[in-house]
Structure 1
Amino acid sequence: MELSNQFQTENKTNNLPKKRFKLGEFLHLLTKSKSVLIGGIFVLIVIFCAIFAPLISTHDPYEMEMGNRLLTPMKDGHILGTDQFGRDLFTRLIYGARVSLQVGLISVAIAMVIGVTLGLISGYYGGWVDTIIMRIVDIVLSFPVLLLAIALVAALGPGIENVILALGFVYWTNYARIVRANVLAIKEEEYIQAAKTIGSSDFRIIFFNILPNCLAPIVVVATLGLGTAIVSEATLSFLGLGIQPPESSWGWTLAFGMKFIREAPYLSIYPGMAIMITVLGFNLLGDGIRDLTDSKLKRN
């Protein structure tokens, strides 16, 4: 008799309306947004250049030709000219895309894992757990983001690994606050209460019932966060705290180009354009996804 009642309860739970995040429907909506299409084109171009850098590049990114230093664009086979060490600028920028995307993707992934996990725990359990986690968030947010990243990298030391860790730690708070706010609303839904009634574990409720309904805002924050992370990496490299020579970095290339701004302004213009196009692409993509998500929620 008890098993029969439980079976009936499970059936009722399955029949309750659930506002699930439908990936197929969401991807179909993306193709209808001009912002998403334009931003997606920019992002795909950068990703293509990063993946196929050895095939696209025309020179060795580390080869120095002091006799060809500071060549103007389109001279002697150098599409964008050469830097102060005679290295091909086009090749350096292509390989710099790899560094920027690597830092952006991994740091956002770290921030997402930390922030989403803590946001789920904070919103679901509430009480003193919520208080402690949110006070930690408030403490981190009380520091200027870039200043905190600079302090962390200065303490850990320059290098791509430390830059990734520093940015991941700095930006996790955005995910925690947004996920917590969504969990507070979702956990009051009928199907969540029904899941508790039939004895579903907290782990199953959090990660199989609540998390799928938080994916839309998480995707938006992650997409916008990629552009922010790339700018932060370029800033740290510009200040000498990020990627170190001879590795190629847009921020590092821009910093050294400033020393030759009068005689070779292209050394600063082209890295700046690369950063601008990449960040613009991610921002357009994120804005488009946010608009589509908001309109979809209003229709529901």
Structure 2
Amino acid sequence: MSTPISGPQASPAEETPFHRLVVQFAENRLALAGLVLLILLAIPAIAAPWIAPQDPYDIGALDILDSQMPPGSVAEMTGITYWLGTDGQARDVLSAVLYGMRTSLMVAFLSVSVSLLVGATVGLCAAYFGGWIDALLMRIVDIQLSFPAILVALIMLSILGQGLDKVILALIIVQWAYFARTARGTALVERNREYILAARCLSLGWRRIIFRHLLPNCLPALIVIATIDLANAIALEATLSFLGVGVPVTQPSLGMLIANGFEFMLSGRYWISFFPGIALALAIVAINLVGDHLRDILNPRNAQ
């Protein structure tokens, strides 16, 4: 009598680390709401050139007679409905917010990505080599972290001048040290483990050990820092633009839109600054909700 042959016992999908991460993330309603909100903000911002009712920076499409119109107003000449009103330059506030969110998210993602790459490389090299290399690199990091971020950014922009690329570079200079410190602290724990000692015994190159063995085990902590730093980058860029030293008027961000409407607040035209401010606050809250829960999930002390 033949016995039934069962297939190999493959590990089910629900036991994979990625699925466990998704399940743990979905169990937190606040984090899930933050992720959904972030997606709802990011998708329209990315698609702004195609879905915005108006190109707010096309001078030929603007009619000065439509300036400072309240929300829900309809333009007499074109029949366009300004759902969020218009600003002092007759730009549709809804379109301006979509384009401004696009610029703010782009600046934040680019600056954080490059900061992560630079900071992780510096921190991992410092932890792996130790000695005078570690001391030198960490003293540079300490000097960087001893100054307020906004002060460093203001000094850099006063030297570099205005421009989207200048703002991104200033934010990279401000942020990389946080990633370097985090990467070094995590790598110091990992460098004396058995798999690193075995790699050294096999005479593997330092590049392979750092980027193929150390880096993957430091990524969880770096991902958490990157997520939280996204919100900080958006807030810092908005502050710089509000002060008039960040993104130029031709490439406005949410901070620039808030600054443009600030002078109209006392005259009752609240919508010019109010709606960009709400969009900025929602973006920061959404990213912080996601980052806080990722920190709890990826914290090794919470592993069961």
TM-score normalised by the chain length of structure 2? 0.88
Write the mapping of 1:17-56 to structure 2, written as runs, cut at 5 A.
22-56=17-51
- 1:64 to partner: Cα distance: 2.3
The Cα offsets for residues 236-275 of structure 1, whole Å up to 9 and x where unpaired, read as 1111111112323211111121100023011111111111
Q: Distance in 1 between matches of 2:259 and 2:127?
A: 43
Task: Name the residue aligned to 2:214.
Answer: 210
The gaps in structure 1 that reach 5 residues or longer are 1-20
Q: Which amino acid aligns with 1:73?
A: P
Alignment partner, residue 185 of structure 2: 181
Q: Give the structure 2 partner of residue 272 of structure 1.
A: 277
TM-score (norm 1): 0.89
CA drift at 1:55:
3.2
Which residue does the alignment assign to 2:295? 290
Q: Deviations over 1:165-194 (max 9, x none)?
A: 000011101100111011110011111111
Q: Deviations over 1:7-33 (max 9, x none)?
A: xxxxxxxxxxxxxx9545434432333
1:259 paired with 2:263, answer: yes
Q: State the 1:116 CA deviation.
A: 0.2
| Greater mean deviation of Cα atoms: 259-268 or 54-63 | 54-63
Distance 1:52 1:186 in 2: 42
Q: Distance in 2 between matches of 1:28 and 1:162?
A: 40
Report the secondary structure of 2:158's partner residue: helix
User: Does the CA-based 8 Å contact 1:93-1:248 persist in structure 2?
Assistant: no
Matched, 1:66 2:70: no
For residues 36 and 214 of structure 1, what CA distance do their matches in structure 2 show?
23
Output aligned runs, 1:151-190, within 5 Å: 151-190=155-194
Instruction: Compute the displacement of 1:47 (Å).
Output: 1.1
1:78, CA displacement in angstroms? Answer: 0.1
Residue 135 of structure 1 is aligned with which of 131, 134, 139?
A: 139
8 Å CA contact retained: 2:164, 2:251: no
1:82-103 CA-partner distances (Å, limit 9, x unpaired)? 0001110000000111100110
* Cα distance in 1 between the residues matched to 2:47 and 2:183: 36
Q: How many residues align?
A: 279
Contact 1:116 1:175 in 2 (8 A): yes
Per-residue CA distance 1:97-137 (angstroms, 9 max, x = gap): 11001100110011111100000000111110000001001
Q: Residues 174-231 of structure 1, C-alpha deviation per residue, up to 9 Å, x if partnerless? A: 1001110111100111111111112222111111111111111111000111111111
- Residue matched to 1:15: none
Q: State the Cα distance separating 1:46 from its structure 2 match.
A: 1.5
Indicate conservation of the 8 Å contact 1:187/1:210, yes or no.
yes
The 8 Å contact of residues 35 and 287 in structure 1, kept in 2 or not, is answered as no
Amino acid of the structure 2 residue aligned with 1:212 = P
| Identity over aligned pairs, percent | 37
Instruction: Say which SS state the counterpart of residue 171 (structure 1) adopts.
Output: helix
CA RMSD of aligned residues (A): 1.5
CA distance in 2, matches of 1:206, 1:247: 39
